[in-house]
Amino acid sequence: MTIETQETSQANRHKARESALQILFAADMATDSPEDQIEAYWRELGDEALDEATREFGTKLAAGCLANREAIDERIRLRAEHWRIERMAIVDRNVLRLAVFEFAYLDTPNTVVINEALEIARRFSTYEATQFINGILDAIRQDIEGKPSEKTQASSNP
Protein backbone atom coordinates (compact mmCIF):
# COMPACT_ATOMS: atom_id res chain seq x y z
CA MET A 1 0.00 0.00 0.00
CA THR A 2 1.44 3.36 -0.96
CA ILE A 3 1.58 6.29 1.43
CA GLU A 4 -1.06 8.10 -0.62
CA THR A 5 -3.39 5.09 -0.49
CA GLN A 6 -2.82 4.72 3.25
CA GLU A 7 -3.61 8.40 3.85
CA THR A 8 -6.79 8.12 1.77
CA SER A 9 -7.83 5.04 3.73
CA GLN A 10 -7.23 6.82 7.05
CA ALA A 11 -9.19 9.86 5.89
CA ASN A 12 -12.07 7.63 4.82
CA ARG A 13 -12.08 5.83 8.16
CA HIS A 14 -12.15 9.22 9.89
CA LYS A 15 -15.16 10.22 7.77
CA ALA A 16 -16.82 6.90 8.61
CA ARG A 17 -16.32 7.59 12.33
CA GLU A 18 -17.84 11.05 11.95
CA SER A 19 -20.82 9.51 10.15
CA ALA A 20 -21.20 6.89 12.88
CA LEU A 21 -21.15 9.64 15.51
CA GLN A 22 -23.95 11.44 13.70
CA ILE A 23 -25.99 8.21 13.53
CA LEU A 24 -25.48 7.62 17.26
CA PHE A 25 -26.45 11.21 18.02
CA ALA A 26 -29.69 10.76 16.06
CA ALA A 27 -30.33 7.42 17.79
CA ASP A 28 -30.07 9.16 21.17
CA MET A 29 -32.75 11.60 20.09
CA ALA A 30 -35.25 9.23 18.44
CA THR A 31 -37.00 5.96 19.16
CA ASP A 32 -36.63 4.32 15.76
CA SER A 33 -34.89 0.98 15.48
CA PRO A 34 -31.12 1.05 14.95
CA GLU A 35 -31.60 -0.25 11.41
CA ASP A 36 -34.06 2.55 10.64
CA GLN A 37 -31.72 5.16 12.13
CA ILE A 38 -28.81 3.96 10.02
CA GLU A 39 -30.87 3.74 6.85
CA ALA A 40 -32.39 7.21 7.42
CA TYR A 41 -28.96 8.73 8.02
CA TRP A 42 -27.49 7.43 4.76
CA ARG A 43 -30.64 8.30 2.82
CA GLU A 44 -31.08 11.85 4.18
CA LEU A 45 -27.83 13.12 5.68
CA GLY A 46 -24.96 10.89 4.62
CA ASP A 47 -22.26 12.28 2.39
CA GLU A 48 -22.99 10.97 -1.08
CA ALA A 49 -19.33 11.33 -2.04
CA LEU A 50 -18.26 8.59 0.40
CA ASP A 51 -17.27 5.32 -1.19
CA GLU A 52 -18.99 2.05 -0.30
CA ALA A 53 -16.18 0.84 2.00
CA THR A 54 -16.37 4.05 4.04
CA ARG A 55 -20.15 3.76 4.32
CA GLU A 56 -19.82 0.12 5.36
CA PHE A 57 -17.28 0.95 8.07
CA GLY A 58 -19.47 3.80 9.38
CA THR A 59 -22.47 1.48 9.44
CA LYS A 60 -20.44 -1.24 11.18
CA LEU A 61 -19.38 1.22 13.88
CA ALA A 62 -22.85 2.63 14.47
CA ALA A 63 -24.61 -0.74 14.39
CA GLY A 64 -21.98 -2.26 16.69
CA CYS A 65 -22.32 0.57 19.20
CA LEU A 66 -26.09 0.34 19.18
CA ALA A 67 -26.10 -3.46 19.49
CA ASN A 68 -23.60 -3.45 22.36
CA ARG A 69 -24.62 -0.21 24.07
CA GLU A 70 -25.25 -1.73 27.50
CA ALA A 71 -21.81 -3.37 27.69
CA ILE A 72 -20.12 -0.29 26.26
CA ASP A 73 -21.93 2.03 28.67
CA GLU A 74 -20.95 -0.19 31.60
CA ARG A 75 -17.25 0.16 30.68
CA ILE A 76 -17.67 3.92 30.46
CA ARG A 77 -19.64 4.02 33.72
CA LEU A 78 -16.81 2.25 35.57
CA ARG A 79 -14.32 4.96 34.56
CA ALA A 80 -16.51 8.07 34.43
CA GLU A 81 -16.42 8.82 38.12
CA HIS A 82 -19.09 11.24 39.30
CA TRP A 83 -20.66 11.31 35.82
CA ARG A 84 -23.83 9.51 34.84
CA ILE A 85 -23.83 8.67 31.15
CA GLU A 86 -27.25 10.19 30.65
CA ARG A 87 -25.94 13.50 32.03
CA MET A 88 -22.97 13.67 29.66
CA ALA A 89 -23.23 15.81 26.55
CA ILE A 90 -24.72 13.71 23.75
CA VAL A 91 -21.68 14.20 21.52
CA ASP A 92 -19.24 13.29 24.28
CA ARG A 93 -20.98 10.09 25.35
CA ASN A 94 -21.25 8.95 21.73
CA VAL A 95 -17.59 9.71 21.02
CA LEU A 96 -16.81 7.56 24.06
CA ARG A 97 -19.13 4.81 22.83
CA LEU A 98 -17.49 4.74 19.42
CA ALA A 99 -14.03 4.51 20.91
CA VAL A 100 -14.95 1.83 23.45
CA PHE A 101 -16.60 -0.20 20.68
CA GLU A 102 -13.38 -0.04 18.64
CA PHE A 103 -11.29 -0.94 21.70
CA ALA A 104 -13.41 -3.94 22.58
CA TYR A 105 -14.72 -5.27 19.27
CA LEU A 106 -12.37 -4.23 16.46
CA ASP A 107 -8.64 -4.60 15.86
CA THR A 108 -7.89 -0.88 15.53
CA PRO A 109 -4.74 0.01 17.53
CA ASN A 110 -5.72 1.63 20.82
CA THR A 111 -3.62 4.74 20.22
CA VAL A 112 -5.38 5.26 16.88
CA VAL A 113 -8.76 4.89 18.58
CA ILE A 114 -7.91 7.55 21.16
CA ASN A 115 -6.42 9.94 18.59
CA GLU A 116 -9.46 9.60 16.34
CA ALA A 117 -11.85 10.13 19.25
CA LEU A 118 -10.02 13.29 20.28
CA GLU A 119 -9.98 14.63 16.70
CA ILE A 120 -13.71 14.08 16.43
CA ALA A 121 -14.32 15.64 19.85
CA ARG A 122 -12.30 18.70 18.83
CA ARG A 123 -14.52 19.13 15.80
CA PHE A 124 -17.90 18.42 17.35
CA SER A 125 -17.50 19.29 21.04
CA THR A 126 -15.42 21.54 23.30
CA TYR A 127 -11.81 21.79 24.44
CA GLU A 128 -12.81 20.65 27.93
CA ALA A 129 -14.58 17.65 26.42
CA THR A 130 -11.37 16.47 24.78
CA GLN A 131 -9.66 16.37 28.17
CA PHE A 132 -12.62 14.55 29.72
CA ILE A 133 -12.78 12.02 26.86
CA ASN A 134 -9.02 11.50 26.88
CA GLY A 135 -9.01 10.74 30.61
CA ILE A 136 -11.81 8.21 30.40
CA LEU A 137 -10.46 6.52 27.28
CA ASP A 138 -6.96 6.26 28.69
CA ALA A 139 -8.31 4.54 31.81
CA ILE A 140 -10.42 2.15 29.71
CA ARG A 141 -7.43 1.48 27.43
CA GLN A 142 -5.37 0.55 30.47
CA ASP A 143 -8.15 -1.75 31.69
CA ILE A 144 -8.29 -3.49 28.31
CA GLU A 145 -4.53 -3.81 28.05
CA GLY A 146 -4.43 -5.22 31.59
CA LYS A 147 -2.42 -2.34 32.99
CA PRO A 148 -3.51 -0.85 36.29
CA SER A 149 -4.39 2.82 36.04
CA GLU A 150 -2.39 5.39 37.99
CA LYS A 151 -5.36 5.86 40.33
CA THR A 152 -5.56 2.11 41.02
CA GLN A 153 -1.81 1.96 41.66
CA ALA A 154 -1.96 4.96 44.01
CA SER A 155 -4.87 3.49 46.02
CA SER A 156 -3.13 0.12 46.41
CA ASN A 157 0.10 1.63 47.71
CA PRO A 158 0.12 2.40 51.46
Q: What is the pLDDT of residue 148?
A: 57
Indicate the pLDDT class of residue 31, thresholds 50, 70 and 90.
Answer: confident
**What distances in angstroms separate CA 15 from CA 22, 80, 88, one per listed residue?**
11, 27, 23
CA distance 137 to 135: 6
Q: What is the pLDDT of residue 23?
A: 95
- Among 100, 91, 41, which Cα is nearest to 65's? 100
pTM here is 0.85
Interval 87-114: pLDDT, tens: 999 999 999 999 999 999 999 999 999 9
CA distance 141 to 50: 30
Neighbours of 112 (CB within 10 A): 12
The domains found in the chain, sorted by start residue, are 3-150 (1.10.940.10)
Q: What is the pLDDT of residue 155?
A: 39
